[in-house]
Structure 1
Amino acid sequence: MISQAEYLKVLRPLLPELAFKPNSQKLFILAINLLILVLGWTIARDLDRWSIEWLWLYLPLSLVMGNSIIICLFAAHDAMHGSTIKQPMSRYLVSFLALALLWMPPTLWKSVHNHKHHTETNAIGDPDRMYLVGQNDTWGKWIQNLFVPSSGVNWAFLALGMATSWVVHTFRHITSILIFNRDDVDYVPAPVVVSPRKRQAIAIELVAIGVVHLSILAFLKFNPLAIGLGYILPLGIGYAGVMFYIYTNHFLCPMTDVNDPLVNSVSLKMPKIFDLLHFNFSYHTEHHLFPSINSDYYPVVQELLQTHYPESYNLIPVVEAWQLLMQTPRHYRDEITLTDSLDRESVICPCAVICPETKVFANDAKSAFAD
Structure 2
Amino acid sequence: MNVIDRERLITQAEYAKQLRPLLPPEAFLSDHSKVWILLINVAILILGWGIADRLPQWNGYFLWLYLPLTLVMGNSVIVLAFSTHEVMHSCAIKNPHLRRIVSLLGWTILWTPPTLWKAVHNREHHNKTNSLHDPDRNYLHEQPKNWGKWIRNLLTPSAEIHPFWLGVGMAHAWGYHTFCNLMSVLLFNDGLTEFPPAAFKVSLKERRAIALEFLVMLGIHLSILTYLGFHPIKLLLSYFLPIWIGYSGAIFYIYTNHLICRMTSINDPLVNSLSIKVPKLFDLLHLNFSYHTEHHIFPGINSDYYPVVQELLQARYADRFNLLDAGEAWRLILQTPRHYKDENTFTDWSGTKSVPCPLSSTDD
Do these two structures clear the TM 0.5 threshold for a shared fold by scoring above it? yes
- Structure-to-structure mapping, 1:1-371, within 5 angstroms: 1-352=9-360, 355=361, 358=362, 361=363
Per the alignment, do residues 263 and 83 of structure 1 end up closer, same or farther by CA in structure 2, a change over 3 Å counting?
A: farther
Q: Report 1 or 2 for greater relative contact order, CA contacts < 8 Å, sequence distance ≥ 6.
A: 2
Whether the 8 Å CA contact 2:138–2:338 is kept in 1: the answer is yes
Deviations along 1:311-336, one digit per CA (max 9) or x if unpaired, are 00001000000000011110000001
Q: Conserved in 2, the CA contact under 8 Å of 1:83 and 1:294?
A: no
Instruction: Show CA shifts across 1:243-277 (max 9, x none).
Output: 11110000010000000000000001110011111
8 Å CA contact 1:22–1:86 kept in 2: the answer is no
Bigger mean CA deviation after superposition, 41-50 or 316-325: 41-50
CA distance in 1, matches of 2:240, 2:104: 20
Give the match's secondary structure for 1:104.
coil
How far, CA to CA, are the matches of 2:163 and 2:92 in structure 1? 38
- TM-score between both structures, scaled by the size of structure 2: 0.96
CA contact (8 A) 1:149 1:326 kept: yes
Q: Hey, what's the Cα distance between the residues in 2 that align with 1:325 and 1:219? A: 40
Q: Which consecutive segments of 4 or more residues in structure 1 shift more than 6 A?
A: none
Over residues 284-313 of structure 1, what are the superposed CA-to-partner deviations in whole Å (9 max), with x where a residue is unaligned? 000000000000000000000001101000
* CA apart distance, 1:50: 2.0
Q: Distance in 1 between matches of 2:190 and 2:137?
A: 18
CA distance in 2, matches of 1:55, 1:344: 50
Q: TM-score, normalised by structure 1?
A: 0.94
Give, in whole Å, the separation in 2 of the partners of 1:240 and 1:83: 28
- After superposition, give the CA deviation of every residue in 1:142-169 in whole Å (9 maximum; x if it has no partner): 1111111100100000001100111110
For residues 166-225 of structure 1, the C-alpha deviation after alignment (integer angstroms, 9 at most, x for no partner) is 111010011111001112100000002111111111101100000110111112122121
Confirm or deny: 8 A CA contact 2:42 2:105 kept in the other structure. no
Identity of aligned residues (%): 55
C-alpha contact 2:88 2:99 (8 A) present in aligned 1: yes
Asked if the contact 1:20–1:83 (Cα under 8 Å) also holds between the matched residues in 2, the reply is no
Q: Which residue of the partner structure matches residue 367 of structure 1?
A: none
Answer whether contact 2:34 2:86 (CA < 8 A) is retained: no
Deviation at 1:97, TM superposition (A): 0.5
Whole-angstrom distance in 2 between the partners of 1:271 and 1:86: 33
Shift of 1:236: 0.7
- Say if 2:336 and 2:355, in contact at 8 Å, map to a contact too: yes
* Letter of the structure 1 residue corresponding to residue 12 of structure 2: Q
Gaps of 5+ in 2: 1-8
Moved more, 27-36 or 228-237: 27-36
- The answer to whether the Cα contact below 8 Å between 1:122 and 1:250 also exists between their aligned partners in 2 is yes
Task: Write the distance in 1 (CA, Å) between the matches of 2:276 and 2:12.
Answer: 20
Deviation, 1:88, is 1.8
- Cα offset for 1:83? 4.9
Q: What is the count of residue pairs matched by the alignment?
A: 356
SS in 1 for 2:346: strand
Rounded to whole Å, the distance in 2 between the matches of 1:130 and 1:182 is 21
Moved more, 2-11 or 292-301: 2-11
Q: In structure 2, how many angstroms separate the alpha carbons of the residues matched to 1:188 and 1:318?
A: 27
Aligned partner of residue 350 in structure 1, secondary structure: coil
- In 2, the alpha carbon distance for the partners of 1:84 and 1:277 equals 19
